[in-house]
Structure 1
């Protein structure tokens, strides 16, 4: 009986640990939080001590890149978070992912996107440009995002 209670306690502890929100601290006292609710994950942005603004939700939400700091704020007009969300599009191979860019100015803007891909994309943010590319996959389109143009498909 004690073994069963100990095992049940371990399972509850593990489940509680998995339910912990993922938190990423950003520039200007902003915080990005991913929480689970009703089988979905929600990305919220807030300044410390203020109400969270829900930005994205889906079966699985991941922050794949962050561009903060004064240099990036000057290049992009605000710090950025690039997030992927499990998509709903049908893919022949792989799982669809929707990519979004979220600008975190004084008030977070509506996310730019989605950009949908059937393969995971590597993301880098530098020199005022966010680049999304599937390394080693010339058959998969690559993209750039700037504040002025939004997402633009690149020549491979």
Structure 2
């Protein structure tokens, strides 16, 4: 338990730092508009998590603290759902509904495609075949 907490905290520091770096390099948006940096971190994070689920998470020897540190800590603090929702609410309040719907749909679709891409690549890397998706024994509780 304590090791998992420490791993999540350390992963959170690293993920937050990486997120800050992406925000410093890429354009961020004003409230209610599409943010390139938000989409990039969510797509990259979704891909990496999909890849990790396909290659490492299903293995019984991978310790819970590592899964928690990388999944919840690092990738959880790197990606952001709250930025998408806050921008959507701000855009809705400004009556910018087409931009809001487009932004939410784009973020969601790209994130799903990235996660699928990571899962597919990880499955191919392990030679398990495309027709057998990775099994997540705990239902993803420690992602």
- TM-score tier, shorter chain, comes to under 0.3
Bigger relative contact order, structure 1 or 2 (CA pairs below 8 A, ≥6 apart): 2
**TM-score normalised by length of structure 1:** 0.22
TM-score, normalised relative to structure 2: 0.24
Larger radius of gyration: 1
